[in-house]
Amino acid sequence: LLLALIRSHPGTHIFDWWVGNATIVIDATVGTIVASRRPGNPVGWLLCLSGVAVSTSSFTSQYAIYALLARPGSLPAGEAMAWIAAWLLPIIIGTQLFYLLLFPTGRLPGRRWGWLAWLIVVFILMGMISSAFAPGAYLGSLGPIRNPLGIEGFTNIYKALLYAMAPLLQAAVAFSLFARLRGAVGVKRQQIKWIAYAAAIFAVGIVCNVINLAIDAPRWFEWAGTAYFTVAGTTIPISIGIAILRYRLFDIDLLINRTLVYGALTVTLIALYFGGIVVLQRVFVTLTGQKSTLAVVASTLLIAALFNPLRRRIQSFIDRLFYRRKYDAAKTLAAFSARLRKETDLDALRDDVVGVARRTVQPAHASLWLRPDPGPDARSAAIRQFGHDEE
């Protein structure tokens, strides 16, 4: 309701609130499910806390904007709400850092990472104090609203924490995940892959958001970038839920593969489409002196014709580059199938079967046992028995 009421204010960017509202719903939902299924894992409870902190921040910010900017004096305690919203941001950032640091087991990666946990606690406490007493206008969506409890000197501390310490802590948490991924095997490795995949998607969303802020982008690009950033912001809690609950855990490899293939395919087709339009329009202008819609039609037909061939080429390239073991196994099986049609020597065939199993499955030990030939009499009896059973 408050979000709808403050839309009329010129300083309100409605898309910025979508991210917060989506985070509230997803964090709270995933956190509740994880906490109910795995009550001993603090990650679920931290997700719930993150959802509560974001929802409180969203409500108090929207309340303050309506009470002090959109309709000044219409609601009481506007300055108090703005003050509460100001010091909630360090709690939100710190909570998110904590559940990533404890993921997926709910424990630190090791004793040597204890310093990072304490550093996050220090960041939360110092961030709350410095933001609560930073003088002047509040940072972020609160715009020109000023802090009535500001004390000189606290602004620089808060900015140093927000713009220097927070990125360093995020980098340290990301490094801890990378260190765990290197030493992880089996289920734990798949769990960390899920969060790494979500982090990569979210990083692309951050880049889109930075581009929107840095340049005067077209309106459609701003909408698309903000919509992507909103969706990308929900991938981390969703991936945490999937990883901890182990729902379709091993689908992550297929998901990463498909994302790489279709992401590269989309970029290539878009480049070909617009490049084709530009080139063909120049050709038409040179020949006829005017632009033609045939350029768009021809580019569309070109994209339709190239879709499957490009997809196969990109799939093969991705498999060779990132999934070499799978690619080599497929080639080995294809070569074995071709030899199998022509091979008549049983000993050679047996060696081939064992060799293929070793190269593709890579077992600790591989051997092949063939039942000895029972002789012609036993085979005839078996054939007669088979015919009798059919009758």
Q: What is the mean pLDDT of each run of 10 residues along the chain (391 residues)?
A: 53 53 78 88 90 85 79 80 84 89 86 89 87 72 72 74 82 86 81 84 75 68 73 83 79 75 84 82 77 79 86 81 60 66 66 67 66 60 52 46
Domain ranges of the chain: 2-247, 265-322, 327-390
For residue 45, give the amino acid letter.
Answer: W
Paired with 148 in beta bridges are none
Orientation of helix 294-322 relative to helix 324-340, angle to 10°: 90
State how far the Cα of 323 lies from the Cα of 257, in Å rounded to an integer. 9
Residue 17, pLDDT score: 55
Q: What is the CA radius of gyration of the chain?
A: 30
State how far the Cα of 104 lies from the Cα of 188, in Å rounded to an integer. 8
Paired with 146 in beta bridges are 137
Q: 137 by DSSP, 3-state: which?
A: strand
Own/partner pairs, 96-102, CB within 8 angstroms, 24+ separation: 96/50, 97/123, 97/169, 97/170, 97/173, 98/46, 99/42, 99/43, 99/46, 99/47, 99/50, 99/240, 100/173, 100/177, 100/195, 100/236, 101/173, 101/176, 102/42, 102/43, 102/46
Select from 201, 170, 196, 169 the least CA-distant residue to 182. 196
Q: Residue written as tokens 């997803």? A: 26
Report helix, strand and coil shares of the chain as percent, to nearest 5: 80, 0, 20
The upper half-sphere exposure of residue 82, i.e. CA atoms within 13 Å in the direction of its Cβ, equals 29
Is 15 in contact with 231 (CB distance < 8 Å)?
no
State how far the Cα of 182 lies from the Cα of 180, in Å rounded to an integer. 5
**Which residues, including other chains, have CB under 8 Å from residue 205's CB and lie 6 or more apart?**
225, 228, 229, 231, 232, 233
State how far the Cα of 389 lies from the Cα of 22, in Å rounded to an integer. 65
Select from 17, 45, 18 the least CA-distant residue to 31. 45
**Which residues, including other chains, have CB under 8 Å from residue 87's CB and lie 6 or more apart?**
127, 128, 129, 131, 132
Residue 362, pLDDT score: 61
Q: 150 by DSSP, 3-state: which?
A: coil
**Which residues, including other chains, have CB under 8 Å from residue 378's CB and lie 6 or more apart?**
none
Q: 290 by DSSP, 3-state: which?
A: coil
Q: Residue written as tokens 């091979």? A: 343
Residue 118, pLDDT score: 92
Residue 129, pLDDT score: 84
With 0-12 / 13-18 / 19 or more C-beta atoms within 10 angstroms meaning exposed / middle / buried, residue 76 is exposed
The count of other CB atoms within 10 Å of the CB of residue 287 is 9
Centroid of chain to Cα 119:
26
Residue 45, pLDDT score: 92
Residue range 2-247, CATH number: 1.20.1070
pTM for this prediction: 0.67
State how far the Cα of 247 lies from the Cα of 37, in Å rounded to an integer. 12
